Amino acid sequence: MSAPAAGDEAGAAPLSALYPVLSQLPAAARERLQARARRVQVPAGTSVFDERQACQGFPFVLAGSIRVVKSAPNGRELPLYRVTPGETCIISSACLLGHTPYNARGVTEADTTLLLVPNADFQALLGEAAFRDFIFQLFSERIADLMQLIEEVAFRKLDQRLAALLLGKGRSVHTTHQQLADELGSVREIVSRLLKGFAEQGLVALAREQVDIIDPAGLRRIAGG
């Protein structure tokens, strides 16, 4: 991970409250983490890591969020997952464990505060059973999420996925067609065409940067195939 200028943020929660596993570490390990880790503040819309870039440390997210995506040569992106406070990034973990560069890109969605742990200290933390179990549990959860994403992309049509996405955002969705396309790993023109079809069926009403759900039962039928 590239390291922006160090900083602090008043709204960031205490590290131990977000990551209770750290309170299970021996005192020496906690003291080393406190002394060696570096707090960095990253503005919204900043690329914190990119494909083929070497990983410079293990990030704990204290505030904000990071959107992790896989990019295609034509510029299209497939969202993989988000990292929010209390969570960590499995791609960063995999890079550090395998000594390989990143194979995806991470971009901050809001002003984000991170605690960046140097590589050597991350390796030392893996020697502690509690932290090692935490990392393995993280891999298990993220892999399950990614398997679900693969299933949706491979086996569900885009109109099904769009209907399910809208249903998960409430009765009035404040977003752009481009943002919906980004979340689905598609392109704006296709999403706009599908939304227009939904509107013609009386399922939704379209306004500028807003989609109002008129017939949720109808959308659920589409989402279910």
Is residue 1 in some structural domain?
no
Residue 72: its pLDDT value, please?
A: 78
- The range of the structural domain enclosing residue 125 comes to 15-154
With a pLDDT cut of 90, the percent of the chain lying above it is: 69
Domain stops at, among 107, 131, 154: 154
Q: Which residues of the chain carry a pLDDT beneath 70?
A: 1-13
CA–CA separation, 82 and 69 (whole Å):
9
Shared domain for 149 and 172, answered yes or no, is no
Is-above-0.75 flag for pTM? no
Write a three-state SS string for 74-93: CCCEEEEEEECCCCCCHHHH
Shared domain for 37 and 136, answered yes or no, is yes
Residue with tokens 């990019």: 71
pLDDT digits (tens, 9 = 90+) for 192-210: 999 999 999 999 999 999 9
Residue 10: its pLDDT value, please?
A: 41
Domain stops at, among 154, 180, 202: 154
Residue 11: its pLDDT value, please?
A: 46
Is residue 177 in some structural domain?
yes
Residue 6: its pLDDT value, please?
A: 37
Domain stops at, among 128, 154, 180: 154
Shared domain for 125 and 136, answered yes or no, is yes
Shared domain for 59 and 125, answered yes or no, is yes
